[in-house]
Every structure is written in structure tokens, then in C-alpha cells.
């Protein structure tokens, strides 16, 4: 089994070589029951074009099942609208609280089901790997990730933390697969 820090393929209809494209659309997903972040980028420009980003917010009064339906429906709509080919999703993290881990697993499962149903290649990337790739430090704070994503994508406004994490996942996937270079070296 591949190491999580390198990105682990969860399921796919196509391999990376078959879908590599100058204008490839990547979806990043940061799953959470009350705030699942998503972000879509299109490669081919420098910087990549941000097509959409957001947070699927579920109020505390909603039941878990209502939240899971909202996550699934929203991601289905995003996939239908933008037609991404690859989804980079945040890998599992260590949780001391079993109940928290189970709830996070439910949200992640809802997101994975929607993405798999859309036929996307799914790649898991460890949270520390994303922070290392984007900020240069594996223990970086959420605000540091958001600011760097804003800078890298030349966004006018600072993205919400969960949406920023999702965009960071997409950027990390692109970077790890040499589909987007951050400040690439120039020949002189």
C-alpha cells in the first residue's frame, strides 16, 4: 500500500496518464459534518483558474443524516456543473475521540460516494502533506494555508478556511503530479 503522504489512490475509472490535460479540472474536498469545503481549479494558466469554491455549512440543529444529504447533493451538483476529472480529498487523521472519528468518517463517506458516483479519480492526501506542499511547514495553521492559497491563485479575497483547505488539496495534487509548478524555474 502506498504511503498516505504521497497521495493514495482510492478508486478510479481512468489513470492519471489517461486524463492528464492542459485544461484539466481538479476538485479538492475537505470533509467535515458541519463544514465540508470544496474547491475547483482549472489547470492550463498561471495561476490556475479558480472555477468555484465554498463550504457546505450544516447548522447544529440539523441531524447527521440531513448534513450527509446536503454534502452529497451539493457535491453532485458541483461535479455536474464543472465536470472535474480528479478529486483530491483530505486523508484520515488520528482522533482520540472515537465518536468524533465516526462522525468524520460518515461525512467523508458521503463525500466519497458523491465523487465516486461522478466517475472521478479519487486521490487521498494527508493533511500534513498538503500543509508542507502549500506553506512549506507540515504543522501550519489554517490561516497560513488560506493566505498562501489566496496568493497562489491570486484571489481577491481570503477564502473561508474549509474552502481554502479544499483548494490547497487540489493545488497539492497538481503540484505532486507536476501539472502545476509553484514559481517554476526559468531558463536564462
Residue 82 lies in a domain: yes
- The CA distance from 179 to 161, in Å, is 24
Q: What is the DSSP letter of 42?
A: E
Which member of 30, 121, 124, 165 is catalytic? 30
Residue 183 lies in a domain: no
Residue 120 lies in a domain: yes
- pLDDT in the model for residue 75: 98
Residue 100 lies in a domain: yes
pLDDT tens for 4-33 read 334 445 544 444 444 445 569 999 999 999
Which member of 24, 90, 121, 124 is catalytic? 90
Judge whether 165 counts as a catalytic residue.
no
pLDDT tens for 150-186 read 999 999 999 999 999 999 999 999 998 865 555 444 4
Number of domains in the chain: 1
Domain that holds residue 128: 4-176
Residues 90-105 have a mean pLDDT of 83
Judge whether 30 counts as a catalytic residue.
yes
- Taking CA atoms, 43 is separated from 13, 80, 128, in Å, by 20, 18, 23
- CATH number of the domain within which 64 lies: 3.30.420.10
- The CA distance from 62 to 98, in Å, is 21
Residue 185 lies in a domain: no
Residue 144 lies in a domain: yes
Q: Global pTM?
A: 0.83
Which member of 121, 124, 162, 165 is catalytic? 162
Residue 75 lies in a domain: yes
Residues 37-65 have a mean pLDDT of 96
pLDDT tens for 105-147 read 999 999 999 999 999 999 999 999 999 999 999 889 999 999 9
- The CA distance from 33 to 59, in Å, is 10
Judge whether 117 counts as a catalytic residue.
no
Residue by residue, DSSP assigns 96-116 as S-HHHHHHHHHHHHHHHHHHH
Residue 70 lies in a domain: yes
Amino acid at each position: 500500500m502506498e504511503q498516505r503522504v504521497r497521495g493514495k489512490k482510492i478508486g478510479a475509472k481512468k489513470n492519471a496518464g489517461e486524463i492528464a490535460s492542459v485544461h484539466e479540472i481538479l476538485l479538492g474536498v475537505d470533509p467535515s459534518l458541519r463544514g465540508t469545503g470544496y474547491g475547483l481549479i482549472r489547470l492550463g494558466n498561471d495561476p490556475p483558474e479558480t472555477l468555484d469554491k465554498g463550504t457546505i455549512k450544516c447548522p447544529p440543529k440539523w441531524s447527521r443524516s440531513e448534513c450527509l444529504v446536503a454534502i452529497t447533493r451539493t457535491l453532485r451538483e458541483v461535479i455536474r456543473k464543472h465536470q472535474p476529472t480528479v478529486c483530491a480529498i483530505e486523508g484520515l487523521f488520528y482522533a482520540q475521540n472515537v465518536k468524533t472519528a465516526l462522525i468524520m468518517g460518515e461525512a467523508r463517506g458521503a463525500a466519497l460516494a458523491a465523487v465516486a458516483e461522478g466517475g472521478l479519480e479519487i486521490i487521498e492526501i494527508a493533511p500534513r502533506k498538503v500543509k508542507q506542499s502549500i506553506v512549506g511547514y507540515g504543522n501550519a495553521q489554517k490561516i497560513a494555508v488560506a493566505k498562501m492559497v489566496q496568493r497562489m491563485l491570486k484571489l481577491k479575497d481570503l477564502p473561508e478556511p474549509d474552502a481554502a483547505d479544499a483548494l490547497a488539496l487540489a493545488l497539492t495534487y497538481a503540484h505532486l503530479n507536476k501539472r502545476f509548478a509553484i514559481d517554476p524555474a526559468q531558463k536564462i
